Amino acid sequence: MNTESIRVPDLGGAAEVEIIEISVKAGDTIEAEDSILVLESDKATMELPSPMAGKIVELTVSVGDKVSEGDVIGSMEAGGAGQADDGEAKDGQSKGEEDSSREAAARSEAEPGTKSGAQSGSGVEPKAEAEPKPGSKAETHTAPVSAESNARHTPAAATPADQEAGSAQVHAGPAVRKLARELGVELHRVIGSGPKNRITKDDLQGYIKQQLQNAQGGAATGGGALPAVKLPDFSQFGDVERSAMSRLQNLTAESMQRSWLNVPHVTQFDEADITDLEDFRKSQKAVGEAKGLKLTPLPFILKACAYALKAQPAFNVSLDMDRREVVQKHYIHIGLAVDTPAGLVVPVIRDVDRKGIWELAREAQELAAKARDKQLKPAEMQGGCFTITSLGGIGGTAFTPIVNTPEVAILGVSRAAMKPVWDGKAFQPRLMLPLSLSYDHRAVNGADAAKFTTLLSRLLGDLREFML
C-alpha cells in the first residue's frame, strides 16, 4: 500500500494552534473523517479528521505542540476495511482486513448513530457526537451512577435531543465523549478542569466517583435519589419552544440544587441605618468623577463584611464533612454575585480587609464589567470566603439567598428605603438598608448570626467604627 503524509488542513486562518489531545496511535486502522487529534485555538476546540481510510504508520507530534495549515503531523497507509488488494481479495479478506472490519464494527457498535464523513469537506470543524440510541449496546454499559442519570433521562425530565444539545456544547475530546456515552454520563453535568473548562478523563472519573458516594450515602441513610419531577406535555395548552440550557445555566442550577439539598439554611434579617453613609458617599461624587469611578454603597458593604469576618471567624470557614474537619481561613476574599445576560457569575475580590474604599470601588467596577463581557478568568471566580448578592438596584424588601458552598454564609442586600425611626423623643426619617444573611447552620449558630448582622448594621451606620 502507498504511504502518504498527513497534513494539517485549512484552520480558518488560525496559526500555531495547540494540540490538546491525540485520538489515535501508530498501528491504528481508521476510517476517513475519524478524528486523529484535537486542536484548541483562542476561539474554538476542533478535531482534525483523517483525510482517508487506512492505517496510521506514525505520528510526529505530541500533546502541547503547535501546528499550522500544511504542517505534516504523521503518515498513514491508504486503504481501510473492505479495500483489499486484488490478490488478497480472491480467497476472501486478509487477516488485516478482518481486524479492520472488527474494529470498524466495534466502533459503530460503541458509537451508534455516527457516520463516516460527519464533517463536511477536508477542513476542521467542531464535532458534536451523537448520544447512544435507546436499546443500543452502549446504553447497556452503564455504571452504577446511572441510577441518578436514568431519572434525569426520563422523557418527562428532558428529551434525548435536549440532552444531546447540552453535551455537544461542552469542551471534551472524542475519547472522553465515548467513555461518557458508555457510562451513561451527560457531559454537561461535569465541571471541566482543563484549559477553557475542557473536560478531562480525570474530571469524568471524579464526577462518577462523587455520584457513587452520593448514591451509597443515600442507601446508608435509607434514602435515595430524589424522584424526578414529571412534566406534562405543555404543547397541549398552547405553543411552546424548547432550547438547550447554556453551560452556565447548567452549572448554576446544579450548584444551587447541591447547596440547597446539602446545607441546612437559615436566614437572619436585619436593617442598617445608612443615612450618614449616604450623605458621605454623595459628598465624594466629585472625587469619584476625578478618579473615573462611581462610588456606590457596595465598597462600604465589602469593607464592613471584611471587618465582621475578622471579628467572627466562624463565618470564614468551610466544612470538610468527609474528614469531619473545620477549615479555618486566614484570608478574606469576598465574592460578588453579578447578573449578566448569560446568567449569574461570582467574581471574587481578594484581600478585602487590606484594601481601601476607592481601591475596592475600582476593582468591583472592573470585575462587574468583565463579567458582563464574558472576560472573567477562572482564577477570578475562585477562592471566595463569603458572598454578597445585591438586589438593591432592582427592588424588594428582603429575600433568602442560597449559600454559595463550600462557603458557609452569604449576605443579601435589598433596596434601601426611608422609614420613620424612633430616636427616644420623636420619629426621624432615616434611610434603612435591608440585610438578609443566609448561613449554614452546621457551622454557624443563630446567636452568632444575629451578632454578625448587628455588627454590620453598626459599621454601616457609623463609618468611624471602621477605624477601631
State pLDDT tens for residues 42-78.
556 678 888 888 999 999 999 889 998 889 999 999 8
Which grid cell sits at 25? 496511535
Q: Which three cell numbers stand for residue 289?
A: 468623577
CA angle 123, 47, 130 (to 5 degrees): 105
Task: Tell which wins on pLDDT, 169 or 67.
Answer: 67
Note the pLDDT of residue 466. 76
Q: What number is the average pLDDT over the span 174-196?
A: 81
- Cα–Cα distance measured from residue 344 to residue 342, given in angstroms and rounded to the nearest whole number: 7
For residue 176, count other CB atoms closer than 10 A to its CB. 25
Instruction: Write down the pLDDT at residue 44.
Output: 60
- Mean pLDDT throughout 79-84? 49
Res 279 pLDDT > 80: yes
E strand or H helix at 45, and its extent? strand 45-49
Q: Which three cell numbers stand for residue 332?
A: 478574606
The winner for highest mean pLDDT among 31-45, 73-87, 104-118, 447-461 is: 447-461
> Exposed, middle or buried, 463 (CB in 10 Å: 0-12/13-18/19+)?
middle
Domains of the chain (ranges; CATH) run 3-110 (2.40.50.100), 137-244 (no CATH), 265-467 (3.30.559.10)
CA contacts within 13 A on the Cβ side of 423: 9
Amino acid at 165: A
On whether the CB atoms of residues 18 and 43 are closer than 8 A, the answer is no
H/E run at residue 271? strand 265-273
Report in angstroms the alpha-carbon separations of 397 from 12, 181, 270, 438: 53, 47, 11, 15
pLDDT > 80? residue 148? no
Compute the mean pLDDT over every residue in the chain, rounded to the nearest whole number: 79
Query: What are the residues whose beta carbons fall under 8 Å from the beta carbon of 359, sequence distance 6 or more?
Result: none
Provide the grid cell at 463: 463609618
Q: Using CA atoms, how far apart are residues 367 and 136, in angstroms rounded to an integer?
A: 47
188 flagged as catalytic: no
C-alpha cell at 300: 462600604
> How would residue 301 be classed by pLDDT, with cut points 50, 70 and 90?
very high
pLDDT at position 118 is 35
In the beta sheet, which residues pair with residue 265? Answer: 440
**Spatial distance between the Cα atoms of 462 and 460, rounded to a whole number of angstroms:** 6
Question: Band of the pLDDT at 131, cuts 50, 70, 90?
Answer: very low
* Segments in 144-200 forming alpha helices (H): 146-153, 160-168, 174-183
Q: Tell me, what's the pLDDT at 80?
A: 52
Residues 17, 67 contacting (CB under 8 angstroms) = yes
* Active-site option among 153, 265, 330, 441: 441
- What confidence tens digit (pLDDT) does each residue in 306-352 have? 999 999 999 999 999 989 999 999 999 999 999 888 788 999 999 99
What pTM, to 2 d.p., does this model score?
0.55
Q: Are the beta carbons of 410 and 404 closer than 8 angstroms?
A: yes
User: Tens digit of pLDDT for each residue in 379-390?
Assistant: 899 999 999 999
Q: Region 171-193: what's the mean pLDDT?
A: 82
**Could you say which DSSP state residue 388 is in?**
E
| pLDDT exceeds cutoff 90 at 12 | no
- Predicted pLDDT of residue 32: 85
Q: Give 241-277 pLDDT, tens digit per residue.
A: 999 888 788 888 888 999 999 999 999 999 999 999 9
- Residue 433's identity, in one-letter code, is L
- Confidence check: pLDDT of 94 > 80: no
